[in-house]
A and B are shown apart, each in its own frame.
Chain A
C-alpha cells in the first residue's frame, strides 16, 4: 500500500511529467491558454495515458519478452498509441463535438506527445506490475493535468499584463514554466 502511495506522490509532485521530466511540453505550451481547453486536453491525455500504459505493458509482457523481441518495443508502442488516439478521436467526434473542435489539431498530436510514450517506456523500465502500471499512469496523467491547469490559470492572468512584445506568447510561457518548475523542486525531499 505504501508503495502505491509513493508512486502517486512521486508522479504528481516530485517527478511531475511536465515540470521535472520535460515530457509533454508541446501541448503544455500550446493548449494552456484557456482553462477549459486545458481541462479537456488533460482529460483526453489521461484517458490515452492509462489505456496506453495498460496495453503497452500487456504487449511487452506477453509478446515482446517471451519471444525475446524487446527491440521492437518502440515500434510496437508507438503503433498502439497511434491507434488509441485515432480511436479517442472518433469517439470524441461523435459524443463531444465542441470539445473535439476546441482541441483542434492538438488531439491527433497526442500521438506525438512525449508524455504518453515516455510513461509507457518508464513503466517497463521500472518493472512494474499491471496494478502499479495503472496507478503510475493515472498519477502521471493527474500530474500533467495539474501542470496544465496551473499554467492556464497563470496565462489567463498574463493576458492583462504588460509584457514586452518580443516576450509575448511562448517565451513568457516558458519563463512561467521555469518558475513553476522551481516551485515544484521544493517537493523533492517529500518522501
Chain B
C-alpha cells in the first residue's frame, strides 16, 4: 500500500473519532475552543508518532505475551514527556487542557494503532499511519470545537464572529459537547449511507 494511502485513511475513511468512535473523552471535554482542539490534536499526534516509531522499531524484540504492558510503558513515557514540555513551553495551553494531557495515555487510539499497525509494519509506514490518524483526529476535534466555540462563545480562535448576539452558553457546557458530537455523527452516518 502506498504511503499516501496509509496517511489518507486516517484522515477520512478510518477517522478515529468519527468512524472508529475512539477518543471520545477528550473530544467532548476540551473542545470548548478551537485553540484547545488544535493544541490537543498536536500533542496527541506527537505522542502517536513517537510511540508508533518506538513500537515499530522494537516490534521484533517485544515478546508477544507482554506486549500490552510494554506498549503502555512506552506510551506513558512519551505522554509524560509531552506533559512536561507543554508545561514548560506552552503554559496557557497546558492549563486549558489540564488533566487531559496525562489522559492521552489511555486514549484508545494510540494503543489501538500500536496493536493494529505499528507492531506489524516497519517504521516509515508506521510514521505515515500515525500522522494520518493524528491529522484525522485533529480535524475531527477542530470540527467539534468550531461548532461549540462559535455557537457557545461567539468567537472563533478568540476572534468574535457573531457580534451583537448573545451566545448559547449551553454549547460550551457539558451537554453541548454531547449534542454536538451526537449530531455530527448522525450527519456523517447519513452522508456515508447516501454515497454507499
Q: Do chains A and B touch in the complex (CB under 8 A)?
A: yes
Q: Do the beta carbons of A22 and B28 come within 8 Å of each other?
A: yes
Are A19 and B174 touching (Cβ within 8 A)?
A: yes
CA distance A74 to B80 in the complex (A): 7
Q: Which residues of A contact B183 (CB under 8 A)?
A: 171, 175
Complex Cα spacing A14 to B106, Å: 25
The stretch of A2-10, A35-43, A44-52, A117-125 in contact with B is A117-125
**One of B122-130, B149-157, B184-192 contacting the partner:** B184-192
CB distance from B142 to the nearest CB of A (A): 18
Q: Give the interface size bracket for A toward B.
A: 35 or more
- Is A75 among interface residues, defined by CB-CB distance under 8 A? yes
User: How far apart are the CA atoms of A185 and B178 in the complex, in Å?
Assistant: 13
Across the interface, B174 reaches (CB within 8 A) one of A22, A75, A78, A113, namely A22
- Check A26/B22 contact, CB under 8 A, given A178-B175, A181-B175: yes
Residues of A within 8 A of B84 (CB): 71
Complex contacts, B69 vs chain A, CB 8 Å: 79, 82
Q: Contact at A171–B25, with CB atoms within 8 Å?
A: no
Provide the bound-state CA to CA distance between A174 and B189, in Å: 14
Task: Find chain A residues with CB under 8 A from B3 CB.
Answer: none
Q: Are B80 and A78 in touch, CB under 8 angstroms?
A: no
Among A117, A122, A166, A172, which residue has the most Cβ atoms of chain B within 10 A? A166
